[in-house]
């Protein structure tokens, strides 16, 4: 009995010191049922998060980050790992809309970022990262559009990523800004080790017909721009707060790149609703907006059970937001299957637990492809 009490006291001490964890499950049209565990700790000089997920079909994803005030404003180490089995293999030339069966994507990355203050609202960061991807397919890339027996193939890609970021950021609460402005620019350089090997995975339709082609690009440079506006709408006839968020962004690679580092629609908050990896390319632009309707300032969630069961765990009564959104964008490149302007629409539920934690569940629809996608995240939306 004494041991049980000591364990409960230890748990309560740790939790009350700044820990936050969310176990649960959700469903998406692409991956079916997914179980997840999100754990977070925030302290004066150290913060960390870990987001682990496992689908009932055997796929898994891990995203963990450690933040500390070692030097400068903050130092971050982020590690991501994923194994995703996709029903459709989109590695076909532009204009061909047929799919030819599933393939397995395994990717992982590790990034180190160093942040510095560059003024009252300005921030400057340096980053370096390593990325790797393996792409297993029951089809060989150079015969996808030919009438031959299938040949199993595994392509790969490696990338060393080094660059800098600069931002003007007036958000006093980055996770749930009310009225603010953000502008960010990211400049990076990529090196592709192993790019001279025939099974290196460039996004280029020539790869589908000429397996002996010598791949000249051994690296690339890129730029990304991101601008966001936040404003609080005041309307006497509406009894709850409304936040309007707008975003304009774009990116460009100077040369051909592998799937590993291509700009991908349908990921996180970039054209939510598009099939995974259906639209990938070397350049993009996006314009999106969403309206956050803060309906309930102290909503009730299933995690109130933690408050009842664990002594010292704060009562989780978060702000509940209904968030309709709309996005316009376009992905450019020789690989892109549909180079017209795309639109996606959708809505989400957001629970704002703390200044550091926003639980977000979004459902997006892509009219051009007639597909739905669902997204669960612990990040702010726009």
pLDDT tens, position by position, 169-204: 887 766 677 788 999 999 999 999 988 887 888 766
Contact between 334 and 205 under an 8 Å Cβ cutoff? The reply is yes
- b (16+ CB within 10 A) / e for 167-202: bbbebeeeebbeebebbbebebebebeebeeeebbb
Read off φ and ψ for residue 11, nearest 5 degrees: -60, -45
DSSP state for residue 275 in the 8-state scheme: P
Contact between 152 and 199 under an 8 Å Cβ cutoff? The reply is no
According to CATH, what is the number of the domain 2-377? 2.40.160.50
Task: Identify the pLDDT of residue 232.
Answer: 87
Domain layout of the chain by residue ranges = 2-377
Q: Is the pLDDT of residue 257 over 80?
A: yes
CA-closest candidate to residue 97, choices 352, 336, 287, 350: 336
Please list, in sequence order, all residues whose beta carbon lies within 8 angstroms of the beta carbon of residue 16, skipping any fewer than 6 positions away: 312, 313, 314
Task: Identify the pLDDT of residue 311.
Answer: 64
The sign of the CA dihedral 305, 306, 307, 308 is positive
Q: What average pLDDT does range 238-264 have in this prediction?
A: 90
Whole-model pTM: value is 0.85
Q: Which of 7-11, 38-42, 96-100 has the lowest mean pLDDT?
A: 7-11
Q: Where are the beta strands (DSSP E) in 170-297?
A: 180-191, 219-233, 242-253, 263-264, 280-281, 283-296
Task: Identify the pLDDT of residue 9.
Answer: 47
Mean pLDDT of the chain: 82
Residue with the larger pLDDT of the pair 317 and 25 = 25
Task: Identify the pLDDT of residue 172.
Answer: 72
Question: CA-CA distance, 56 to 25, in Å (whole number)?
Answer: 11
Q: What average pLDDT does range 36-48 have in this prediction?
A: 86
Per-residue pLDDT band for 78 (boundaries 50, 70, 90) equals very high
The sign of the CA dihedral 215, 217, 218, 220 is negative
Q: Is 365 exposed, middle or buried (0-12, 13-18, 19+ CB in 10 A)?
A: middle
Q: Is the pLDDT of residue 157 over 80?
A: yes
The sign of the CA dihedral 210, 193, 257, 50 is positive
The DSSP annotation for 319-382 comes to: EEEEEEEEEEEEEESTT-S--S-EEEEEEEEEEE-SSS-EEEEEEEEETTTTEEEEEEESS---
Task: Identify the pLDDT of residue 71.
Answer: 82
Q: Is the pLDDT of residue 145 over 80?
A: no
Question: CA-CA distance, 184 to 223, in Å (whole number)?
Answer: 11
Question: CA-CA distance, 129 to 108, in Å (whole number)?
Answer: 11
Per the rule left: phi > 0, alpha: psi between -120 and 50, beta: everything else, 268 is: left
Residue with the larger pLDDT of the pair 362 and 240 = 362
Please list, in sequence order, all residues whose beta carbon lies within 8 angstroms of the beta carbon of residue 64, skipping any fewer than 6 positions away: 48, 49, 50, 51, 78, 79, 80
- Per-residue pLDDT of 193-247, as tens digits, reads 988 887 888 766 555 455 565 556 789 999 999 999 999 887 777 778 888 999 9
> Which tokens hold the place of 54?
């496992």
Q: Is the pLDDT of residue 298 over 50?
A: yes
């Amino acid at each position: 009995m004494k041991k049980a009490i000591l364990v409960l006291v230890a748990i309560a001490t740790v939790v009350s010191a700044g820990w936050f964890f969310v176990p649960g499950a959700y469903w998406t049209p692409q991956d079916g049922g997914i179980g997840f565990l999100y754990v977070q700790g925030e302290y004066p000089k150290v913060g960390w998060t870990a987001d682990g997920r496992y689908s009932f079909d055997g796929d898994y994803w891990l995203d963990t980050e450690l933040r500390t005030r070692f030097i400068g404003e903050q130092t971050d180490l982020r590690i991501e790992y994923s194994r995703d089995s996709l029903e459709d293999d989109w590695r076909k030339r532009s204009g061909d809309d047929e799919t030819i069966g599933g393939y397995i994507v395994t990717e992982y990355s590790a990034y180190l970022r160093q942040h510095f203050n560059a003024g009252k609202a300005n921030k400057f960061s340096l980053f370096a990262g390593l990325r790797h991807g393996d792409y297993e397919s029951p089809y060989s890339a150079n015969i996808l559009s030919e009438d031959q027996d299938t040949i199993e193939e595994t392509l790969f890609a490696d990338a060393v990523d080094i660059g800098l970021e600069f931002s003007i950021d007036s958000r006093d609460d980055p996770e749930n800004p009310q009225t603010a402005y953000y502008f960010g620019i990211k400049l990076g350089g990529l090196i592709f080790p192993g790019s001279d090997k025939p099974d290196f995975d460039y996004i280029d339709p020539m790869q589908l017909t000429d397996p002996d082609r010598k791949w000249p690009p051994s690296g690339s440079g890129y730029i990304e721009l991101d601008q966001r506006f936040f404003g609080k709408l005041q309307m006497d006839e509406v009894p709850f707060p409304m936040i309007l968020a707008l975003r304009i962004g774009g990116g460009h690679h100077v040369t051909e790149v592998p799937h590993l580092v291509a700009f991908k629609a349908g990921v996180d908050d970039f054209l939510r609703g598009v099939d995974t990896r259906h639209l990938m390319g070397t350049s993009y632009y996006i314009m999106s907006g969403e309206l956050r309707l803060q309906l309930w300032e102290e909503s009730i969630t299933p995690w109130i059970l933690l408050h009842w069961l664990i002594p010292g765990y704060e009562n989780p009564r978060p702000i509940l937001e209904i968030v309709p959104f709309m996005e316009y964008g376009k992905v450019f490149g020789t690989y892109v299957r549909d180079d017209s302007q795309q639109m996606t629409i959708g809505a989400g539920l957001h629970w704002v637990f703390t200044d550091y934690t926003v639980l977000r569940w979004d459902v997006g629809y892509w009219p051009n492809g007639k597909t739905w996608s669902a997204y669960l995240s612990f990040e702010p939306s726009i």
